[in-house]
Amino acid sequence: MSQLLLDTVLKKFEDISGPEVVEESKINFNEPFLTLASEKWNLELARLLVEDEKLRFDFLCCLTGIDYEEHMEVVYNFYSMELDQYLCIKVKMPRSNPKIISVQPVWKTADWHEREAYDLLGIEFIGHPNLTRIFLEDDWVGHPLRKDYKFDKEEMGL
Amino acid sequence: MSIKTEQMVLNIGPQHPSTHGVFRIEVVIEGEYIRKAKPVIGYLHRGTEKLAEDLIYTQFIPYTDRLDYMNAMTNNYVYCAAVEKLMEIEAPERAEYLRVITMELNRIASHLVWWGTYLLDIGALSPFLYAFRDRDTILDRLNEISGARMTFNYMRIGGVKWDAPEGWIDKVKETVKLLRENFAEYHQLVTGNEIFIGRTKGVGIITKEDAINWGLSGPILRGSGVKFDLRKNQPYSIYDRFDFDIPTREEGDCFARYEVRLDEMFESLKIIEQACDQITEGEIVHKKGQRIMMIKPPAGETYFRCEASKGEIGVYLVSNGKNKPYRLKLRRPSFVNVEILADMLIDRNIADLVAIFGSLDVVLGEVDA
């Protein structure tokens, strides 16, 4: 079942963006799991995930930013209310210039998730309507969830 | 000459009696109508996800208590279960029963806090006292098994920390009976009240499509007519062994969410009763969970989610094979549920602000992480 879904998504992605759109595909804990490079990930693919009658991923459960030291990633966990199926998509980007499209136009819930990833990891979401810090003050320096984030204990009064 | 109304900016919070936490909202009003709203959060941000990266797996459990402190058992569970999923281990049967009983008791306690404070916010004082009377009975039971009234730190990776003290299961059964009688009073006390209905019916409507697109979950989603509950739709733990319903309403307004939550408390009582009848003696923690320094999930990543009192709580966990999480993302239902607030308030009367915000049942500890 998961394998079938994985093959369907792969085929549909390739039909739109060519044969090399997906870097890696596998089944991870019984869920289809795809890895893409950020330059291949676009709103057309995102819309396909919602609109296609075999996919219908209308519910974005979670959006996670991860710093892997050599690169950065954004992970999307999707669920389909209508078809009761899951999908995980991982988008990789270079650490020196982490930029990715905003999926807020497709799933409104992405709004604050993306602001959180911007605030704590410094990932820039292109096309986001209000990409500002969400937890930390506007003049905060740095992004705490980055692995090389340094903080001055003395300055913080510790 | 016509009289023009000028727009003005009104700042509510960060400290305000109705926010139960530190939340600020800037609203632009024109007369009594809200034209624009901007929620400002982060006052309680403690960097929970960053702290996790510097703690061994078991050490992080007490931090989950402090996210949604009204519903700490489920937070404990979702984290432990995510680690168990990565380690591919399962908690012993007795532990799962104890988990279900404590989680459901806690769900009721959480809904009671909401019920009492929501009515307090919109002007009814006495329901609060009824709610806290009953919540206290539940907290006594949870205190007896975990040693704490709110921040339980009760669950462990692979099971639970303490077995039930002697006679505890029977006490829980009595509590269920007592609560069922008391909850019947709630409807007499509040549900049919004309003022209450006037303030909540037709107010703060969320459509089905909006609810899904905004990622809403829990009673809010079900109040908008979506029959979705992770306990049924993707059963975790041992929820597939119990007979219970998922209450839903079609209206999507504040009153619908109120009704869903009240109905859910009765469903939780059903689950607790069945769990108390089915529970047997046995181990309470998996042997791999006992040596806490040695908990090292194999390298990999997974997303695990379950149904908290406020909706879908999820953990995205990345392990690099060491004894501390490489990255831990918490999908907190309150954080996601409050996102829609700014949209809901547009062109509403300022008097509805508290009724709408309250109906979302947001805990700020969880919003700000």
User: pLDDT at position B19, please?
Assistant: 65
What's the pLDDT band for B17 if we cut at 50, 70, 90?
low
For A134, which DSSP code?
A: S
Inter-chain touch B327–A67, beta carbons under 8 Å:
yes
Cα B240 to Cα B24, B40, B234: the distances in Å are: 41, 40, 9
Cα B178 to Cα B37, B171, B175, B264: the distances in Å are: 43, 11, 5, 17
- CA–chain centroid gap for B166, Å, is 29
- Segments in A60-154 forming alpha helices (H): 110-121
Return mean pLDDT, chain A.
89
Q: Nearest CB to B331: which of A31, A62, A133? A: A62
Inter-chain touch A59–B336, beta carbons under 8 Å:
no
User: pLDDT at position B294, please?
Assistant: 84
CA–CA dist B163, B146 (Å, integer):
9
Q: Nearest CB to B50: which of A59, A60, A145? A: A145
Average pLDDT of span B130-152: 93
B7-368 fold:
Cytochrome-c3 Hydrogenase; chain B (1.10.645)
User: pLDDT at position A142, please?
Assistant: 86
Write out pLDDT tens, residues A15-43: 888 888 888 888 888 899 999 988 888 89
Write out pLDDT tens, residues B303-358: 999 999 999 999 999 999 899 999 999 999 999 999 999 999 999 999 899 899 98
B318 and chain A in contact, CB less than 8 A: yes
Inter-chain touch B41–A75, beta carbons under 8 Å:
no
Cis previous bond, B14, omega within 30:
yes
User: pLDDT at position B129, please?
Assistant: 94
Inter-chain touch B49–A58, beta carbons under 8 Å:
no
Write out pLDDT tens, residues B150-191: 999 999 998 999 999 999 999 999 999 999 999 988 988 898
Neighboring chain A residues of B328 at a CB cutoff of 8 Å: none
Beta strands in B77-213 (DSSP E): 155-156, 159-160
- Among the listed residues B144, B150, B134, the one whose alpha carbon sits nearest the alpha carbon of residue B66: B150
- Contact assessment for residue A24 and residue A32, using Cβ atoms and an 8 Å cutoff: no
Q: Is pLDDT above 90 for B18? A: no
DSSP bridge partners of B7: B30
Q: Is pLDDT above 70 for B247? A: yes
DSSP bridge partners of A126: A101
For chain A, the structural domain boundaries read: 1-137
CA–CA dist B257, B359 (Å, integer):
7
Specify the 3-state DSSP secondary structure of A24: strand
Cα B175 to Cα B106, B206, B274: the distances in Å are: 13, 35, 14
Predicted complex ipTM: 0.91
- Per this entry, what is the length of chain A? 158
CATH superfamily ID and name for A1-137: NADH:ubiquinone oxidoreductase Nqo5 subunit (3.30.460.80)
Strand duo A31-37 + A85-94: pairing: parallel
pTM, rounded to two decimals: 0.92
- Per this entry, what is the length of chain B? 369
Count of C-beta atoms within a 10 Å radius of residue B126: 12
Note which residues in 214-243 of chain B have CB less than 8 A from chain A: 214-216, 226, 228, 233
For B217, which DSSP code?
A: -
What's the pLDDT band for A5 if we cut at 50, 70, 90?
confident
CA–CA dist A118, A133 (Å, integer):
7
